[in-house]
């Protein structure tokens, strides 16, 4: 009887410890996202390192926490423009994070009427009013897995999972205390050869957080 009781107790301790570890890991990554992701970012330092290259451009990205329970629990609004011109929009997206299977997932939500949201980073109420009918959600295959390496968060799409017309989207977002790396390309399904880069001058765009600028 003592052995059975000891076995049951040990099993309970192991299961509880495992569950606690999973919950702690998920919660910790979600907390790190809240700490590291919001901000205003620019690639000016990277541009300064490549004098004479003509196919690169200034890119400013603004990311702010968003409250909209209709769309998800942990959301961030992203507005991005080129050449220091807020009217020259390159991306408006909503990042949706959630814990799953001991890790954290990221899905990109794409507003269908981007023009109506231009400048919404200064007036988030416009994004807070969005419903699912205003959103095109990326397919599950385009979901990103979020992992942590020391104090760096890595979000990456799975290999060849986000397929589009015999190509696949190769997307990775790396976040640390100083800024982000965004690696955004399209590759051939047949051999992974490169078809398209977001910015041809760089395989990955390095954007540094602008100190003193509130998200």
- What string of DSSP letters covers 83-128? TT-TTSEEEEEEEEEEEETTEEEEEEEEES-SGGGTTGGG-THHHH
- pLDDT (tens digit per residue) in 137-167: 999 999 999 999 999 999 999 999 999 999 9
| pTM reported for the whole predicted model | 0.86
Query: Across the strands, what pairs with 106?
Result: 97, 144
Mean pLDDT throughout 28-46? 96
Residue 41 or 212, more confident: 41
DSSP codes of every residue in 29-61: HHHHHHHHS-EEEE-HHHHHTSTT-SS---EEE
Per the structure block, which two tokens stand in for 13?
A: 């301790």
- pLDDT (tens digit per residue) in 178-192: 999 999 999 999 999
The domain spans of the chain are 2-209
CATH topology of domain 2-209: Lipocalin (2.40.128)
Confidence of residue 85 (pLDDT cuts 50, 70, 90): very high
DSSP codes of every residue in 145-194: EEEEETTEEEEEEPTTTSEETTEEEEEEEEE-SSEEEEEEEEEETTT--E
Dihedral pair phi/psi, residue 14, rounded to 5°: -65, -45
């Amino acid at each position: 009887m003592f052995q059975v009781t000891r076995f049951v107790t040990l099993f309970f301790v192991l299961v509880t410890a495992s569950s606690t570890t999973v919950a702690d890991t998920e919660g910790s990554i979600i907390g790190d996202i809240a700490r590291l992701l919001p901000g205003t970012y620019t690639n000016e330092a990277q541009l300064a390192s490549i004098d004479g290259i003509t196919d690169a451009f200034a890119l400013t990205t603004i990311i702010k926490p968003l409250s909209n329970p209709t769309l998800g629990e942990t959301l961030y609004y992203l507005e991005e423009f080129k050449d220091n011109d807020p009217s020259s929009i390159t991306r408006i997206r909503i990042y949706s994070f959630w814990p799953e299977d001991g890790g954290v997932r990221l899905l990109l939500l794409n507003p269908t009427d981007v023009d109506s949201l231009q400048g919404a980073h200064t007036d988030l109420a416009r994004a807070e009013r969005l419903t699912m009918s205003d959103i095109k959600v990326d397919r599950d295959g385009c979901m990103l897995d979020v992992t942590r390496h020391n104090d760096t968060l890595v979000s990456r799409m799975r290999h060849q999972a986000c397929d589009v017309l015999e190509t696949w989207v190769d997307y990775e977002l790396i976040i640390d205390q100083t800024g982000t790396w965004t690696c955004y390309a399209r590759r051939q399904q047949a051999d992974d050869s490169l078809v398209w880069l977001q910015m041809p001058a760089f395989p990955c765009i390095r954007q540094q957080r602008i100190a003193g600028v509130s998200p």
